[in-house]
Amino acid sequence: MSDVWRRFARDKAALVGATVIVIIAVSALAAPVVAPFDPNEQFFEGLTLAGAPRPPDAEFWLGTDLLGRDLFSRLVYGARASLIIGVAANAAAVLIGTALGMTAGFVGGWAGSLIMRFTDLMMAFPALLLAIALAAILTPSLWIVALVIALVNWVQIARVIYTQTRSLAERDFIEAARSLGANWPRLVLRHVLPHLVPTILVWSTLGIATTVLLEATLSFLGIGVQPPTPSWGGIIFESQSYFLHAPWLVFFPGAAILMLAMSFNLVGDALRDALDPTQRGRG
Partner 1 sequence: MLGYLARRLVQSAVILIGITMITFILSFLIPADPVRMIAGRSATAETVESIRHQLGLDQPIPVQYVRYVSRLVQGDMGRSYVQKTEVATLIWSRLPATLLLMAGAIAFELMIGLPAGIYAAARRGRIGDRGVMLLSFTGVSAPQFVVGLLLLYVFANLLAWFPLGGYGSFGHLILPALTLGITGGGWYSRMTRSSMIDVLGQDYIRTARAKGSSETRVVLVHGLRNAALPMIAMIGLDIGIFMSGAVVVESVFGWPGIGQLAWQAIQRIDIPIIMGVTLVAAVAIVVGNLIADIATSLFDPRVRLG
Partner 2 sequence: MIFWGNEYREETMRKTLLAGAAALALSLVVVGPAADAAPQHGGQMVVTYKDDVSTLDPAIGYDWQNWSMIKSLFDGLMDYEPGTTVLKPDLAESYTISDDGLTYTFKLREGVTFHNGREMTADDVKYSLERVVDPATQSPGQGFFWSIKGFDDMASGNASELSGVTVIDPYTLQIELSQPDATFLHVMAINFSFVVPKEVVEEYGADFGTHPVGTGAFRMTDWTLGQHVIFERNPDYYDADLPRLDRIEFQVGQEPSVALLRLQRGEVDILGDGIPPAQFLEVMGNDEWMDNVIEGGQLHTGYITMNTHMAPFDNKQVRQAVNMAINKDRIVQIVNGRAVPANQPLPPAMPGYDPNYEGYAYDPDAAKALLAEAGFPDGFETELYVMNTDPNPRIAQAIQQDLAVIGVNAEIKSLAQSTVIAAGGEEDQAPMIWSGGMAWIADFPDPSNFYGPILGCGGAVPGGWNWAWYCNEELDAMAAEADGMTGEDQADARLEKWRLIFISIMDDAPWVPVFNEQRFTMHSDAIAGETDEIFVDPVHIPVHYDYVYSTAAQ
Binding site for partner 1 (CB under 8 A): 13, 117, 120-121, 123-130, 132-134, 136-137, 209, 213, 216-217, 220-221, 233, 236, 240, 243-244, 247, 250-251, 254-255, 257-258, 261-262, 265-266, 269, 281-282
Residue 51 contact partner, candidates partner 2, partner 1, none, CB within 5 to 8 A by sort of partner: partner 2
> Of residues 140, 230, 233, 268, which one binds partner 2 by CB under 8 A?
140
Does residue 22 contact residue 16 with C-beta atoms inside 8 Å? Answer: no
CB of 100 to partner 1, least distance (A): 16
- x-marked contacts with partner 2 along 244-263 as a string, rule CB under 8 A: xxx-----------------
> Of residues 11, 70, 215, 238, which one binds partner 2 by CB under 8 A?
238
Which ranges constitute the DSSP H helices of 182-247? 184-187, 193-220, 232-239
Label residue 282 left, alpha or beta by phi (over 0 means left) and psi (-120 to 50 means alpha): alpha
> Of residues 62, 66, 89, 158, which one binds partner 2 by CB under 8 A?
66
| Nearest by Cα to 106 from 14, 17, 207, 186 | 186
Residue 128 contact partner, candidates partner 2, partner 1, none, CB within 5 to 8 A by sort of partner: partner 1
Please give the biggest Cα pair distance in the chain: 80
Task: Give the DSSP H or E segment for 110.
Answer: helix 109-124
Per CB under 8 A, the segment of 118-126, 134-142, 179-187, 196-204 that binds partner 2 is: 134-142
Residue 144 contact partner, candidates partner 2, partner 1, none, CB within 5 to 8 A by sort of partner: none
> Of residues 55, 56, 228, 254, which one binds partner 2 by CB under 8 A?
228
For residue 227, give the 3-state DSSP assignment.
coil
Q: What is the Cα gyration radius of the chain?
A: 22
Cα separation of the two ends of the chain? 20
Per CB under 8 A, the segment of 38-46, 102-110, 175-183, 275-283 that binds partner 2 is: 38-46
CB of 245 to partner 1, least distance (A): 10
β-bridge mates for residue 70, sequence order: 64
Does residue 150 contact residue 96 with C-beta atoms inside 8 Å? Answer: yes
Instruction: Return the amino acid letter for 166.
Output: R
Instruction: Return the amino acid letter for 184.
Output: W
Q: Which residues bind partner 2 (CB under 8 A)?
A: 40-42, 44, 47, 49-52, 66-67, 136, 139-140, 222-223, 226-228, 237-238, 240-246
